Every structure is written in structure tokens, then in C-alpha cells.
Amino acid sequence: DQQVKQNSPSLSVQEGRISILNCDYTNSMFDYFLWYKKYPAEGPTFLISISSIKDKNEDGRFTVFLNKSAKHLSLHIVPSQPGDSAVYFCAAPDRTGANNLFFGTGTRLTVIP
Amino acid sequence: EPEVTQTPSHQVTQMGQEVILRCVPISNHLYFYWYRQILGQKVEFLVSFYNNEISEKSEIFDDQFSVERPDGSNFTLKIRSTKLEDSAMYFCASSARSSLNTGELFFGEGSRLTVL
């Protein structure tokens, strides 16, 4: 099952420009979404999250947008920096308060200096 | 900054052998997890552990897998008889709270298991 899907395996962006990473989900019961960032040889680290009662959450250069009707969320990074180059995973708990996450397959972002 | 540590970083084993992957969660955390990522695939939940017992497990976590917290600090994943398809990166994680609705899940760097 692929309840959380990231259809773009990779994305390249020039430094200073906007990076947009997309994620789709199929389970309408999901009510919370998270983005994790992963560098090589490291575990995933939490980046930003959004509750389904919101359509936008912003934290510095990172903004997550949620479109519930389309079952789609996106992560915007502005401006992109070379240090942002990593694999980005979107994830959702399988039910409210659950302590296991469904992850997408990830998108590898490369920010070109 | 406190972190989750895992050993070994890489283990190569023969099919049918037993493997134990070790994790030291963040010291004040109470909830522990194992996830795995097969090369090129998504990160998948295996099991969660709280109060010395499994709280949830996925279909992947069959009778070949077991977890325990033998000494109050280590959290181990044992694979009794490894199969080729067990080759993956195994991530340990811990959290202070049961709800993940705050993103408070901290991952270790992973243990790469290669089954030959």
C-alpha cells in the first residue's frame, strides 16, 4: 500500500530559488502530516509539520501547504541553500495519536550553488 | 544535543544467521521504535515499544523479529534467521510522548544490514 506518495524522486534547484516538494496521500483519515529531512549516513530529522485543521504552516524558510480536497501537500523552501540538499520525506501517523508513521518514498533535493 | 545511537553501523551476515541490532534511545524518552528502509524504497514502520512491551507492530514484524530492552538503556532488534529480503537500513527512533502529532520522533543514524 502507498498511502503517502512522493512522485518525484529528485529535484534540482539553483541556490536562492524556491524548492517545491510535493506529496499526495490517499487516506482521508490522516489528520497530521510531517516532513523529515535525511542526509546521507544519518537518520531522518523532523523538519516541519501541519495539522489538517490548517492549510499552511510556516517556519523560517520552510512552509508547508495542505490541500485537503486534493489530498495534497507541498513543502516550499525559500530561498534554497546548498545545505538543503538532502532527501525529503513526507509522513503521516496512521491515525490520530498513533505512534507509527507512514512515509513517502522521498524526494532527493539538490541545490546547485 | 541528545541523540539516538545505533550499533553496528553496518553488518554483513549469512542467510539464516541471527542478527542483533542495538540502539541507545535518548535517556528521558519512553517510547521506542524500529523502522527500516530497503534500498530505493520508503521508510517502513516495524514496531513500537513502551513500558517493556510491544505497543504496535506492522505486518513486516513477523515471528522472526523480536525486540527487548534488556538493561533499561539499550533497545535491541533481533532477527532470528535472516533472509535475503531482510537486507535494509534499520532505524531506531525514540520519543518522549506517545503522540507523533508534534513531530517529536528522533531517529538514529541507522544500521545497514546486508544478508548474503
Q: Which residue from B minimizes the CA distance to A51?
A: B101
Mean pLDDT computed over every residue of chain B: 91
Q: What number of other Cβ atoms are within 10 A of residue B38's Cβ? A: 13
- Using the Cβ of B93 and the Cβ atoms of chain A, whether some distance falls under 8 Å is answered with yes
pLDDT-derived band of residue B37, with 50, 70 and 90 as boundaries?
Answer: very high
pLDDT digits (tens, 9 = 90+) for A51-61: 999 999 999 99
For residue A85, give the DSSP letter. -
Shortest distance between the Cα of B101 and any Cα of chain A, in A, equals 6
A·B CB contacts under 8 A: 76
pLDDT at residue number B26? 92
Question: Taking CB atoms and an 8 Å limit, are B105 and A93 in contact across chains?
Answer: no
Shortest distance between the Cα of A17 and any Cα of chain B, in A, equals 27
Question: Taking CB atoms and an 8 Å limit, are B56 and A102 in contact across chains?
Answer: no
Q: What average pLDDT does this structure show over A70-78?
A: 97
Contact list, A100 vs chain B (CB under 8 Å):
33, 45, 48, 56, 58, 100
Q: Is the pLDDT of residue A91 over 60?
A: yes
pLDDT digits (tens, 9 = 90+) for B56-109: 899 999 999 999 998 878 999 999 999 999 999 999 999 887 766 666 789 999
**What is the 3-state secondary structure of chain B?**
CCCCEEECCEEEECCCCCEEEEEECCCCCCEEEEEEECCCCCEEEEEEEECCEEEEECCCCCCCEEEECCCCCCEEEEECCCCHHHCEEEEEEEECCCCCCCCCCEECCCEEEEEC
Contact list, B43 vs chain A (CB under 8 Å):
44, 89, 91, 101, 103, 106
Nearest CB to A105 within list B41, B50, B98: B41
Q: What average pLDDT does this structure show over A26-40?
A: 91
Q: Is the pLDDT of residue A2 over 80?
A: no
| Domains along the sequence of chain A with CATH | 4-112 (2.60.40.10)
| Domains along the sequence of chain B with CATH | 5-98+106-115 (2.60.40.10)
Question: Taking CB atoms and an 8 Å limit, are A99 and B93 in contact across chains?
Answer: no
